[in-house]
Amino acid sequence: MRQIQEGALEDIWRLSATELAQNVRDRKISAREAAQAALERLEAVNPAINAVIDYRAEDVLAQADAVDASAARGEEAGVLAGVPVTVKVNLDQENFATTNGTRLQARNIAGTDSPVVANLRRAGAVILGRTNTPAFSLRWFTDNLLHGATKNPRDPSRTAGGSSGGAASAVAAGIGHLAHGTDIAGSIRYPAYACGVHGLRPSLGRVPTYNASGPERPIGVQLTAVSGPIGRSIADLRLGLAAMSGFDPRDPWWVPAPLEFSNQPRRAALVRRPGGLEIVPEVEEALVDAAARLRDSGWEVAELDDIPAIEEAVELQARLWIGESFTPWEEMTAKDGDPGAIATIAELKSLLKQVSAETYLHALVRRSAIIRDYQLLLQDHPVLLLPVSAELPFPDQLDRTDFARVWRAQLTQIGLPLTGLPALTVSTARVGRTTTGVQLLAGRFREDLLLEAGEVLEAGGTPPAPLDPVF
């Protein structure tokens, strides 16, 4: 693990979250020094990528001073001691607006921290800034009329992903050492893929979540949306998961599941074309390479033709996400005026035809049967190796001209959240200026298996990060 020598603090922002936390605990670096370095990096590169849309330097430094004061009193440091972390703007942070990228919520000031933010603070993290999301967190492309567009620091002609595009762009560019994201249809996994970092979608019930600033979420959203970490290393995801997943009584779905289990079956199955997905050669190469990395590390890797009901899962997931009617979505997006959000709802309405109470209830019933099928499959193959997307990261704004192509390519992004199972995107290689990688799926609360497999893949090589934006 790298240690920082006294007087050599200008590159603190380059450290992983794991390395920085250890340096802070060892009193090699103060939390204030780490915060100052993070603020300097933010101010240097954020104007080019617009990943962080709100921050207050005086608040960041005050948080860091509180961490240092705690250390001076001899109190035990948390797992993220002094680590600057960004938080997505759809999550409550006290005294900040939970805008969710829409002008309708521009003045929606949170009175309390969400459970995720509260847990991060308890772990010693310093909340650095608020990251951008598309309007209503609705697209795989991050821009909106309130905060503007976020750029991919590796290639501005490519999407930064969405909806946690600001989070992934920030962590790839060295703004913060770890990022919070949310995922209901790929919003952690896809931005990590697009920006060449790693992203973990935890099991439903692992990380508590709640926004007091908004209404109770519909049941479909409660069953499919989760919060999780985006980072530059698998070790950082491990720390982020540990920090975020503490108990909070405000989330009735939270489960006191252990972070580690004693049995570690090193068996995986490669599925190249789930649901008959037509993948580009670069995606297939990444999958074959990942399977080889696992085999070389002693894993048993089989190959399967398909996974259960993924195309049906896509439709059911979308129905649960939208709810019983498109009318509220049409009214909200029209009032906000964001053209990307308006177009997305119109396209979904065309794809899904009629959403009714009957079809909504049917989706809930079928969800249980599909989860059962996955759990049975994962008994024999504890980790599934899958495409993140059928394509390399999309040209920016592709959904405005070819929504059907984008929707089809994101089969695993949309369908897998229906199961509530954990999934991990591992970035493994560069293809020209852009990046590629793979997705891992495991059984409920088996994030430990995902992270172990992710470490094997990471050891075989990943795109370099953090990086200066390439424009």
Q: Which sequence positions are flagged as catalytic?
A: 88, 163, 187
Helix (H, G, I), strand (E, B) or coil at 127: strand
Helix (H, G, I), strand (E, B) or coil at 378: helix
Closest Cα partner for 460 from 237, 301, 294? Answer: 294
Query: Which residues share a beta bridge with 131?
Result: 52, 88
Tell me 274's DSSP state. G
Closest Cα partner for 13 from 171, 228, 230? Answer: 171
Query: Which residues share a beta bridge with 87?
Result: 130
Q: Is 375 exposed, middle or buried (0-12, 13-18, 19+ CB in 10 A)?
A: middle
Q: Is 206 exposed, middle or buried (0-12, 13-18, 19+ CB in 10 A)?
A: buried
Q: Which helix (H) or strand (E) holds 242?
A: helix 234-244
Helix (H, G, I), strand (E, B) or coil at 439: strand
Cα-flanking dihedrals φ and ψ of residue 349, to 5°? -65, -35
* Dist. CA 350–CA 117, nearest whole Å: 37
Tell me 77's DSSP state. P
Residues 57/114, Cβ–Cβ less than 8 Å: no
Helix ranges (DSSP H) in 83-203: 115-122, 165-172, 189-195
Residues 230/190, Cβ–Cβ less than 8 Å: no
Q: Which residues contact 230 (CB under 8 A, 6 or more apart)?
A: 164, 167, 168, 171, 178, 179, 180, 181, 188, 191, 192, 197, 198, 199, 200, 237
Tell me 104's DSSP state. G
Decide the pairing of beta strands 84-88 and 226-231. unpaired
